[in-house]
């Protein structure tokens, strides 16, 4: 069934129940490709395998429910204003796919290019932001410098006064950046992939990766029994180290809880996304009216999906200083997700030392923005056995050769 | 927030400490003889276990000393802290059954 104004009207008049958006089949004995993890990146990979490469004998295995991990927990920020050329190409590839995604999937992912404004509070911030702007413009990516007055005009509730601990000295604005509806991204990809014959199997935890005596992968052990596969793609975010350990591959990853929180819903007050790496706070407003606030990671590795309260409190201190108008608002919920962080804060998308085993991981604190691009290049890698030009630099091998893509210093903590 | 028992100062709130990454990662004794794969393992590869983790902490706002800690990364419960330089405690000493936690070198 295709969503359209006509379908909506017809359904409203006839009062019929909308059909199931994706099927939940029992697994086959084997597949051409098995993807571990039904978050946005895994589902996008399955969709592009089916739509662009004609590989439809694909299963996406999920230990919980679809989109219930970091896809459902992030703060939905989309931007491509990274420092290095490799990163710019990867994230810009995703932004270009975001721009047409609702039409392509026939599912409203509510992509809203409302502008992402990154604040500068110190002389170093100003220099760093301007360096980013120049690097981005050389790479064909929009990014512009705003004075404090221009920043306040773009976001009227922003405090640009001189009397805060870290006054706003200016901002870098990417107008094409913005947000999207995180659940809709997972649902839209799931629906479009399922329509093309992909099996999405929820409540099916992978407990082992089976290899032939000659070393190559032949399938996965799951809660629903053994499932054969010619190729396996691990897209499991915070649990990647655990899964890759099943194939005896050690990863350059550490998993940390990253927290976010939302306020009670209010009328529109926040027309854009504002981020500050220095005081570590970022905020936008959802279409429901909640202020969506991103906090930091805990200091230590953990799989707890909670995180310490002082991390959220620290961010709220900064939010209250930057946006005094929200000081008396109540927070409705806070939560944590487990993010897999690489030493250079760039993802790993490609082959592994094990034949037939591929990995897409290391998106750290900022993977949501890359969802379409990540799925698109990883599908190419799984289909052909070789990386797409855009993800070729993002190998596991770069930690052996030393050709790191160091966005750690470039982008600080917030993504 | 964790309550961390510094082996030198006693229990203090997490804010007094700084996390120091995985413990018992030994720098190669003869760096000139080490190949790229071994450097990669030393610099970047981490066990990142879901379960028992041995890690370093430094008591920044106290004695300033590094020490080691055994913690469960699912519950975040700290099982034991011990001075730097000591061997990692056995599973029995941590009160764990060997089948529950696989320790990777």
- Residues 6 or more apart in contact with residue A155 via CB below 8 angstroms: A117, A270, A271, A272, A274
Selected for mutation to probe chain A from B44, B45, B71 (highest A CB count within 10 Å) is B44
Is residue A178 within 8 A of residue A75, CB to CB? The reply is: no
Residues of B in contact with A304 (CB under 8 A): 73-76
Distance from CA of B73 to the nearest CA of A (A): 5
Selected for mutation to probe chain A from B4, B43, B48, B71 (highest A CB count within 10 Å) is B48
CB-closest option in A254, A304, A401 to B48: A254
pLDDT at position A1: 81
What DSSP designation does A112 have?
B
Residues of A in contact with B104 (CB under 8 A): 245
ipTM tops 0.90:
yes
Sign for the CA dihedral angle at A321, A327, A329, A333 comes to: positive
C-alpha closest to that of A36 among A17, A62, A75, A58: A62
**Domain spanning B1-22+34-105: CATH superfamily:** Folate-binding superfamily (3.30.2270.10)
Is residue B6 within 8 A of residue B20, CB to CB? The reply is: no
Q: With an 8 Å Cβ cutoff, are A302 and B73 in contact?
A: yes
Helices A40-53 and A371-384, axial angle in degrees (round to 10) = 50
Output the 3-class SS for chain B: CCEEEECCCEEEEHHHCEEEEECCCCCCCCHHHCCHHHHHHHHCCCCCCCCEEEEEEECCCCCCCEEEEEEECCCCCEEEEEECCCCCCCCCCCCCCCCCCCCCC
pLDDT at position B105: 35
**Distance between CA atoms of residues B85 and A26, nearest Å:** 53
**Distance between CA atoms of residues A47 and A108, nearest Å:** 16
Structural tokens at position A58: 């694909």
Residues of A in contact with B74 (CB under 8 A): 302-304
CB-closest option in B45, B71, B76 to A252: B45
pLDDT at position A17: 87
Structure-derived torsion over alpha carbons of residues A75, A276, A321, A284, reported in degrees to the nearest 10: -30
pLDDT at position A67: 94
pLDDT at position A415: 43
As beta bridge partners, residue A275 has A118, A282
Q: Would you say residue B1 has pLDDT above 50?
A: yes
Residues of B in contact with A254 (CB under 8 A): 21-22, 46, 48
**Distance between CA atoms of residues A294 and A275, nearest Å:** 9
Q: With an 8 Å Cβ cutoff, are A299 and B104 in contact?
A: no
Residue B18 CB neighbour total at 10 angstroms: 14
As beta bridge partners, residue A116 has A174, A273
Average pLDDT for chain B: 92
pLDDT at position A169: 98
C-alpha closest to that of A384 among A235, A206, A233: A233
**Distance between CA atoms of residues A112 and B30, nearest Å:** 55
Structural tokens at position A75: 């703060």
Distance from CA of B104 to the nearest CA of A (A): 10
- What is the average per-residue pLDDT within B24-33? 93
Indicate the pTM of the whole model.
0.95
Give one word for A127, left, alpha or beta, with left for phi > 0 and alpha for psi -120 to 50: alpha
C-alpha closest to that of A94 among A22, A185, A222, A196: A185
Over chain A (415 residues), the average pLDDT of each successive run of 10 is 91 89 96 98 98 98 96 96 96 98 97 97 95 96 98 97 95 97 97 98 97 97 97 97 97 96 96 94 95 95 94 95 96 95 96 98 96 98 97 97 83 46
Q: What values do phi and psi take at A251, rounded to 5?
A: -115, 150
In chain B, where the domains are located: 1-22+34-105
**Distance between CA atoms of residues A364 and A240, nearest Å:** 12
pLDDT at position B99: 61
Distance from CA of A37 to the nearest CA of B (A): 17
**Distance between CA atoms of residues A415 and A365, nearest Å:** 6
Q: What 3-state DSSP class applies to A151?
A: helix
**Distance between CA atoms of residues A309 and A262, nearest Å:** 14
**Distance between CA atoms of residues B25 and B46, nearest Å:** 9
Q: Would you say residue B103 has pLDDT above 50?
A: no
Q: With an 8 Å Cβ cutoff, are A303 and B15 in contact?
A: no
Distance from CA of B24 to the nearest CA of A (A): 16
Residues of B in contact with A343 (CB under 8 A): 43-44
- pLDDT band of residue B97 (cuts 50, 70, 90) is confident
- Domains within chain A, CATH numbers bracketed: 27-112+177-252+343-415 (3.50.50.60), 116-175+255-341 (3.30.9.10)
């Amino acid at each position: 069934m295709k969503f359209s104004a006509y379908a909506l009207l017809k359904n409203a008049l006839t009062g019929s129940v909308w059909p199931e958006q994706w099927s939940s089949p029992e697994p086959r004995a084997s597949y051409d490709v098995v993807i571990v993890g039904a978050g946005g990146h895994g589902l996008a990979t399955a969709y592009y395998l089916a739509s662009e490469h004609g590989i439809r004998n694909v299963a996406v295995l999920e230990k919980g429910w679809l989109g219930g991990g970091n896809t459902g927990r992030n703060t939905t920020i989309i931007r491509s204003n990274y420092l290095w050329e490799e990163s710019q190409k990867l994230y810009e590839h995703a932004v270009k796919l975001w721009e047409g995604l609702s039409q392509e999937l026939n599912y409203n992912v509510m992509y809203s290019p409302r502008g992402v404004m990154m604040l500068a509070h110190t002389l170093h911030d100003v220099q760093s932001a301007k360096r980013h702007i120049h690097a981005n413009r050389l790479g064909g990516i929009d990014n512009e410098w705003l004075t404090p007055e221009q920043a306040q005009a773009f976001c009227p509730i922003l405090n640009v006064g001189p009397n805060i601990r870290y006054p706003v000295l200016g901002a870098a604005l990417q107008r094409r950046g913005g947000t999207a509806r995180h659940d809709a991204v997972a649902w839209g990809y799931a629906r479009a992939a399922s329509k093309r014959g992909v099996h999405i199997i929820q409540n099916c935890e992978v407990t082992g990766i089976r290899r032939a005596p000659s070393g190559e992968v032949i399938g996965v052990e799951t809660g629903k029994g053994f499932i054969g596969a010619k190729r396996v793609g691990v897209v499991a975010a915070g649990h990647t180290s655990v899964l890759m350990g099943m194939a005896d591959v050690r990863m350059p990853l550490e998993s940390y809880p990253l927290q976010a929180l939302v306020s009670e819903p209010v009328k529109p007050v926040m027309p854009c996304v504002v981020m500050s790496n220095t005081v570590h706070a970022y905020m936008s407003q959802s279409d429901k009216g909640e202020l969506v606030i991103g906090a930091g990671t805990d200091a230590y590795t953990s799989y707890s999906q909670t995180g310490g309260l002082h991390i959220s409190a620290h961010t709220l201190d900064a939010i209250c200083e930057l946006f005094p108008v929200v000081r008396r608002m109540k927070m409705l919920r806070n939560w944590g997700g487990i993010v897999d962080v690489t030493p250079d804060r760039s993802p790993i998308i490609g082959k592994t030392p094990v034949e037939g085993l591929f990995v897409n991981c290391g998106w750290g604190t900022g993977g949501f923005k890359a969802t379409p691009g990540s799925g698109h290049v990883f599908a190419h890698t799984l289909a052909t056995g070789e990386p797409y030009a855009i993800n070729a630099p993002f190998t596991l091998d770069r930690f052996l050769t030393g050709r790191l893509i160091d966005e750690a210093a470039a982008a600080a903590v917030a993504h | 927030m964790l309550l961390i028992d510094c082996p030198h100062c006693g229990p203090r709130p997490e804010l007094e400490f700084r996390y120091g990454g995985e413990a018992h990662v030994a720098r190669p004794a003869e760096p000139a003889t080490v190949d790229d794969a071994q450097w990669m393992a030393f610099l970047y590869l981490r066990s990142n276990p879901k379960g028992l983790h041995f890690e370093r902490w430094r008591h920044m706002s106290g004695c300033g000393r590094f020490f080691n800690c055994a913690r469960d990364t699912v519950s975040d419960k700290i099982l034991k802290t011990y001075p730097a330089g000591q061997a990692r405690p056995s599973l029995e000493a941590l009160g764990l059954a060997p089948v529950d936690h696989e320790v990777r070198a």
